[in-house]
Every structure is written in C-alpha cells, then in structure tokens.
C-alpha cells in the first residue's frame, strides 16, 4: 500500500491543475511545495506584472486624455499604495487556491520533496510512499556568473521594491525585459534596455520585433542592441553597469534587472535516485509528459517545452488524465497564442513568416497592414498598429496571425478555434466586421 496514489511536486499552475484533476478522477493526491500556492505566475509573474501594466496604462491615459478635452487629467502616483493593493489581491488568490484544493480532497504538504527512489519521497520530517509522481517545479531566473552580479535583481524582486526606481537598467530583451521597460518608462523612470540581439523579442515574427522595438524607443526607453553585460561595480553614486559589444559603455543606475531567461528548477529533487533523465538542463519527457521512469511524469516549465502558464495548466491536467483514466491525453502546441503586454500590445499565434518559409513544401503568402488606430488620431501620442497574416498560398489556409495594437491579446484568442480548423483568407474576407474598430482591418487584408 502507498501513502498516496499521486504526489505532485510543485504547486504552481501545472501542479495545481494536475492535483485537482487527479483528485477528480478518484485518486488520493498530495501536493508538496514550501512556497506560496500559485507558483511564479500568481505570486511573482503574470498576475502582479499585469497589475503593473494596468497601472502604467492609467499614466498613459492621462496623457491621451488631454487630446480629448480633459484639461487637468494628471494625478499623483503612489508606488507603495499599488504594492499594497497587489499584495492584498494575491493573498486572496492564494486563499482561493487553498480552498479549491481542500474541496477537491487534495492534501497540501507545505514542504520541499526529495526523491529517495521512484516510489519513496523525503519530505524533511518524514518519508512517504507514492504510486505515481508528477513533477511540476517550474523554472527560475538565470543569473550569469559575472563580477558584481549579486547586485542585480530578477523579475521576482521587482514587485517588492521599496520605491520606484529613478534610473533602471534592464538586461535582456525577451518578454520580461520588454514589458518591464514599458511599465517603468511609462511610470516616469529613466530606462535603459540592453539586449544581445539586433531586435528585441527573439522568436517572435520579425515585423512584431521591429514594431515593438521602435515603440519602446518612442516611449523614451534607451535601447541598446547587440550589447551584453560585462560586470557590475557599486559605489556611493550607485550601480556602474559595464557593457560590451555594440555599446562599449558604462551605465549608471540605481536598479538593475536581469531578464536573461529562466531555467528549470531541478535542484534538490535528487532525480538520479528516481531514475529520471535530464536533457539540456530540463526533464526529458515524451508527448504524454512521461519521463524515463514510468511512474513519474513532468509538466510545465521544468521540461523543455512551451513555457506559458496556460500550457502548463493544460499539461498538468492532461498528465493526470493519462495516469488516472483510460484515455491518455497529449497537448498540441501548434496553435498556442502568446502576448507581450507593452503598449501597444503584441500577440501572436501559429507560425512566423520565417518558420513558414522554412517549410520547403509550402508556397507562402504574406498579407500585412500597418495603420494608425482611430483612438490616436486626435493625439500627438501616436501608436502604430500592425496586422499580419502568414498564408498557405495553395490552400489559402492561415498559418500564422500576428498583431500589434491595443487589446491585441484579447483579439487574437478568439481566432484560435477557427485557425485550428483550417480558417482561410477567404473566410476572413467574407466576414463583416464591426466599424470603427481595429479588428475590422483583419477582414480586408489581401
């Protein structure tokens, strides 16, 4: 007899979905994590960062309001008041997660877990036996081994700053670097964004990359591309951030954010004892999230797949159903949308133009439109919008959809069901849109 049918290690998005789904399937489930429920997304990632995006949007709205007849729209921003409000909301979210686990019958273990063998796990004060395990320990920020790097903060630290930075330097131009650049520049900070690439947001369609790159510069972000961090030195005047590459320079700042990516959080699991293989720093899994050990699965950012919260949730639920039902489930990654919450927003789903052209058996068409949304026609605060379709030239099926503009994230996900079922360019052209909106531009492309 085992103490539990399933032990889930990690109580982030993937782990919570796995635990609740397995319990609903009738399994006796425990979930182990020494940290807050909800993992990075809820506590130090997506949710609090979106609150910061909203705060920045109010600052932008005040500037825009002057063009619409509001003579005195300005107000005073209180960073600590925002922090307090966010902390209160996150506490309520964690309580909600705890209540849902209790209702589902999941045992919560507020401790780390370490394998002794595939079916025995050390919880610190005791050892438990488990039939199956799902590892969902997520990922953590990367910190390079450079002089003075301990003075650099990671994204998780940005939500507990005691004051709004005056001079903020961000190293890394992915999601985190781009979003925090927009947020703090809009809130009045002097922001320098340093990135090793020629354009920010590697992996996105090139038109999105160039559009948001230019947008951040238009917002006052000093953006230095093809440049890397070399060292950090501290004195009474602040942080001296030494750079090399295209900009061989030293930047003075009071805050340094390291946004250099994330790596799977596997330390202290003792995966060797469990017989779980690791490849390139991540747990190796098959299409059904099975590891090299038949009784152990892994889901979410501790694997080398798509590091997005909705994907992690889907993987967790699918793994639990594979384990505890007679219908194994795999997650499809072909039509997963993603977004960058700058202003304007960027959203994407499907193949980029480069990915489509890399398919040697495809004839690729590209339909692209750039325009100024009606919202900004009265304002000197210009925000260019972009709509881009990557299309199979023979079948006219849409292979990829890429948007830049206000509410792009909300707009794009409504197209995903149609895209999964072979939405064509003709389908869009035959659709009558709402006027006047930015979305209607989609139906006139081509």
Catalytic residues: 435
CA distances 103 to 10, 98, 311, 319, 398, Å, are 19, 9, 24, 21, 43
Q: Between vectors from CA 360 to CA 354 and to CA 364, what angle results, nearest 5°?
A: 55
The DSSP bridge pattern shows strands 278-279 and 282-283 to be: antiparallel
**Contact yes or no for 186/155 (Cβ under 8 A):** no
* Torsion over CA: 202, 208, 214, 219 (sign): negative
Distance of CA 429 to the CA centre of its chain: 32
274's tokens: 């469990």
* Torsion over CA: 135, 140, 145, 148 (sign): negative
Nearest to 48 by CA among 157, 139, 153, 142: 157
Q: Between vectors from CA 155 to CA 153 and to CA 160, what angle results, nearest 5°?
A: 75
Q: Return the biggest CA–CA distance within the chain.
A: 73
- Measured between alpha carbons, how far is 235 from 254 in angstroms, rounded to an integer? 11
CA distances 200 to 129, 195, 224, 413, Å, are 47, 7, 10, 23
Q: Give me the sheet containing 338-340, strands edge to edge.
A: 338-340, 345-350, 398-405, 385-392, 364-371
Phi-psi region of 320 (alpha: psi -120 to 50; beta: other; left: phi over 0): alpha
What kind and span of H or E run contains 312?
helix 309-324
């Amino acid at each position: 007899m085992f103490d539990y049918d399933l032990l889930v290690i990690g109580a982030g998005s993937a782990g919570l979905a796995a635990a609740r789904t397995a319990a609903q399937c009738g399994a006796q489930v425990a979930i182990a994590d020494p940290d807050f429920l909800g993992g990075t997304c809820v506590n130090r990632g997506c949710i609090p960062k979106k609150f910061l995006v909203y705060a920045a949007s109010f600052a932008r709205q005040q500037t825009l309001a002057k063009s619409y007849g509001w003579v005195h729209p300005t107000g005073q921003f209180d960073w600590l008041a925002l922090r307090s409000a966010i902390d209160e909301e996150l506490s309520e979210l964690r309580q909600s997660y705890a209540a849902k686990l209790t209702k589902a019958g999941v045992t919560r273990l507020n401790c780390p877990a370490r394998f002794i063998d595939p079916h025995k796990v050390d919880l610190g004060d005791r050892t438990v036996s488990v039939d199956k395990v799902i590892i969902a320990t997520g990922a953590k920020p990367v910190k390079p081994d450079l002089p003075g790097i301990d003075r650099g903060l990671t994204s998780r630290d940005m939500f507990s700053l005691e004051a709004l930075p005056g001079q903020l330097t961000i190293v890394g131009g992915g999601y985190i670097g781009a979003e925090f650049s927009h947020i703090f520049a809009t809130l009045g900070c002097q922001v320098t964004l340093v990135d090793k690439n020629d354009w920010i947001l590697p992996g996105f369609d090139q038109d999105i990359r160039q559009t948001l790159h230019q947008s951040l510069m238009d917002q006052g972000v000093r953006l230095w591309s093809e440049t890397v961090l070399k060292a950090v030195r501290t004195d009474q005047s602040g942080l001296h951030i030494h750079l090399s590459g295209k900009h061989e320079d030293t930047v003075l700042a009071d805050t340094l954010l390291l946004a250099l990516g994330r790596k799977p959080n596997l330390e202290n699991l003792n995966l060797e004892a469990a017989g779980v293989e690791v490849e390139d720093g991540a747990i190796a899994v098959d299409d059904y999230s099975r590891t090299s050990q038949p009784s152990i699965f892994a889901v979410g950012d501790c694997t080398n797949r798509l590091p997005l919260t909705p994907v992690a949730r889907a993987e967790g639920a699918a793994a639990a159903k594979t384990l505890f039902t007679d219908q194994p489930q795999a997650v499809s990654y072909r039509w997963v949308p993603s977004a960058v919450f700058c202003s304007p927003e960027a959203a994407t789903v499907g193949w980029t133009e480069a990915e489509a052209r890399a398919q040697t058996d495809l004839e690729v068409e590209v339909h692209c439109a750039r325009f100024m949304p009606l919202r900004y026609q009265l304002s000197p605060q210009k925000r260019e919008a972009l709509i881009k379709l990557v299309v199979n030239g023979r079948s006219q099926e849409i292979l990829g959809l890429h948007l830049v503009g206000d509410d792009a994230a909300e707009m794009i996900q409504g197209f995903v069901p149609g895209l999964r079922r072979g939405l064509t360019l003709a389908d869009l052209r035959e659709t009558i849109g709402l006027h006047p909106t930015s979305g209607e531009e989609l139906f006139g492309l081509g």
